[in-house]
Amino acid sequence: MIRFVREKIQVPLHLPEGITALVDVELRRDPLCGEQCRITPRRPSTRLKGHRTGSSEAGPPVESSPCPLCPAAVKDSTPRLDPAIFAEERLRRGEAVLFPNLYPYGRWSAVVALTHAHWVALDEYSARQYADGLGVAIEYAKALIEAGHGPWVSITQNHLPTAGATLLHPHLQVHVDERPNNFFARVSAAAARHRERENEDYFEALLAAERGGDRWIAESDRVAWLSPFAPRGFFEFWALLPSERSLFGLTAGELDALSQELCSSFAFYRRLGWDAFNLALCTHEAPESDLPVWLRVVLRGRFSSHARSDVSFHEKLLEEMSMSISPEEYTRLYRGFRDGNPR
């Protein structure tokens, strides 16, 4: 018998108007392989107007609708945090402000507006902006873990539409889930098998084998930077803290070191003539975890005002499909097309 497994989640959003709305998210599993897919709320269409590809010298691209992440709009455009867990409506640190995702990917899904500026070229980010953005994301995740949610945490970013972004304003996304994404489920199982077979931690052994070699970049505090032996994307870089299994164990100095090298990699991408990337920082916040704090960043295509990639951090780094139209709905649309009724 074939089992079609789906889990429907209703996410309560505390809207700025003072009302609470319920938003539907559906998690599905492939009947054969068990891989997870997310059916998310449909987002409004955002069109980008008329700038040349790529360069910040050409001026920032322009969106056709107001940006909800700009400082003047955040209060009236974004939901408030759950008052049962958080004392404040939104979390703030430096320029960064965190609030629930209006179009969530799961029960606990948040956005961090990273900068006051609506448009930031890759070589213009500061380490302080990323340290504050990551810091407030970690604060959010920690509160949820302590409240009994999780234990899988992902902090992610799509920079520009060619990396899957729906908004130009620099922002992170934070996800706290009961189950791992497809990539981390596979990696966690593989790391556990390696430990059982070899009687060693895979990531500590990996860094011992790579340290000082052709793919080794730098090491600061406990943060090691390297290129992976078998990349999953162009110019992929990793940051690993093999001795740290929890985001909540990161010191301020380690977060600063992580952010500094991250911004250096962005400037390198810009020097190469590119301007988009995906980022994912994932952990398993559980005592039995075989996974370290692990950040990955990968180069994506040049910005174009005429295109948005259908591949975001979900598909590129987490190996999950996330879509805002169900297969039943697009099947209905296609049936109508075949029958001569396009609607």
Alpha carbons 278 and 165: distance in angstroms, whole number: 9
Q: What tens digit of pLDDT does each residue of 49-71 get? A: 433 334 444 455 555 568 999 99
Q: What tens digit of pLDDT does each residue of 7-56 get? A: 898 888 898 888 898 888 888 887 656 777 888 876 654 444 433 334 44
Return phi, psi of residue 145, to 5°: -60, -45
Average pLDDT, the chain: 84
Alpha carbons 37 and 35: distance in angstroms, whole number: 7
Token look-up 């692990």 returns 294
pTM value is: 0.83
Residue 294 has pLDDT above 80, yes or no: yes
Alpha carbons 165 and 56: distance in angstroms, whole number: 17
Q: Which helix (H) or strand (E) holds 280?
A: strand 276-284
Alpha carbons 19 and 6: distance in angstroms, whole number: 28
> Residue 246 in 3-state DSSP?
coil
Least confident of 110-119, 124-133, 229-238, 325-334: 325-334
What pLDDT shows up at residue 46? 43
Cα-to-chain-centroid distance, residue 116: 20
Q: What tens digit of pLDDT does each residue of 151-196 get? A: 999 999 998 887 778 888 999 999 999 988 888 888 888 889 889 9
Tell me which amino acid residue 211 is: R
Question: What single DSSP character describes residue 182?
Answer: H
Q: How many CB atoms lie within 10 A of CB 246?
A: 21
Q: What tens digit of pLDDT does each residue of 67-98 get? A: 999 999 999 999 999 999 999 999 999 999 99
* Residues belonging to the chain: 343
Return phi, psi of residue 13, to 5°: -115, 125
- What percentage of residues in the chain have a pLDDT greater than 90? 39
